[in-house]
Structure 1
Amino acid sequence: MNKADVLDVAMNAYWEDGPTAVSLNSVCQRAGVSKPSVYKAFGNEDGLTCAALEHYGQFVMVKMLEILHGEDSFANKIRRVAYLAAEDAQHEKGCLFVKMRSEKGQMGQKTQTLIAHLESMSRHAFATVLAEGKANGEWAGNIPVELAAHYLHAQIGLALDQRARGEDPTEVLAMALSVFEFTET
């Protein structure tokens, strides 16, 4: 069994069909491996879902964090993250993190812990960008930074959820971003 191949199969199955709609048996069938070999490699189903989300984070979520931590204006960082949610081809089927977060109560403890960590890390990245934008005068900052970070995080998640359902998230994102009143420096 190739652990990396099974991880890719599991990640894509959870991402495509939803994390609670895919059984361990289904992952084994799709990957052409036995259930005992998956248990040996990942410990249990929770270990597999956690590893799949971790894999997703390393290859997909890292793009958002690179934008937020990169060198660009506040407005461009926010717009580029919104573009990822609304138009990036990789997010056509939504976001595995958003899907797992919405079904968090049905995930195992290890996966729930990773979801909470990724959520905290994402909101912190948004808060950092918002605080920088406020400090350098690119954002009026008429909303408390932590509240704005929660709001932005939720709206990006909503847009990704809409993409997963085949809906156009452009209007939701335009409305969400309108509260930030970007100022040009």
Structure 2
Amino acid sequence: GLTGVKGSCLDVIASACETKTFDTNNSICALKDATEKLQQWLNTPATLKLWIPTLNIEAELEVTRLYLLYISGNEAKHNISRLTGLTKNIQKMLGDHGHIVPLEQIPLALDDFAEHLTEHFFVYYSTWLAELLNNLRWGLQEYLNPIFKHCYKSAPELGELAYRYDYPISMDSDISKSWFWRIMNNIRTGPYYEKFSASEYLKMEEI
């Protein structure tokens, strides 16, 4: 609600790629490309072969990586009393793949899902995912670096290492200026990691 975009942080960045408020000589290109590739990766169906000993089910599931992240993230984040929505979704997912399981049995299998996703599936894909996220950070850097260079000014009158930002003329609210200052400081710091590419052996579709 604060951003005006209904969706995830990635949806907010995708929206920024369309508005291109700070674009300078197509500096948006790397960010747009990185955003589209991460969205594609998340929304691509993956085949997950999963033995669920608690339910005595050997399942072969075809769901998006985003959905698997949803399962893994919610299971890690909440205790059992907060996982009603997740258990209903898992029940439906299993049902869609031919495995009918009573809802009250699903919570017993959450540890099976967590073990496979966190210790196998996402461990395998973590380097590839890290590459995609790092490219997104570098895309932000390349997009905003021209406006940073234009707005950044040293301010020796305030101290030896002091600096300021000359805000764009259209930016007249204190809140906008505060956020601009913060993101410019992130550009000033730069990404933590150099660009890298994961091995193709870590990008195979099935494990």
* Higher relative helix content: 1
Does TM, normalized by the shorter one, top 0.5? no
Higher Cα Rg: structure 1 or 2? 2
Q: Greater strand share, 1 or 2?
A: 2
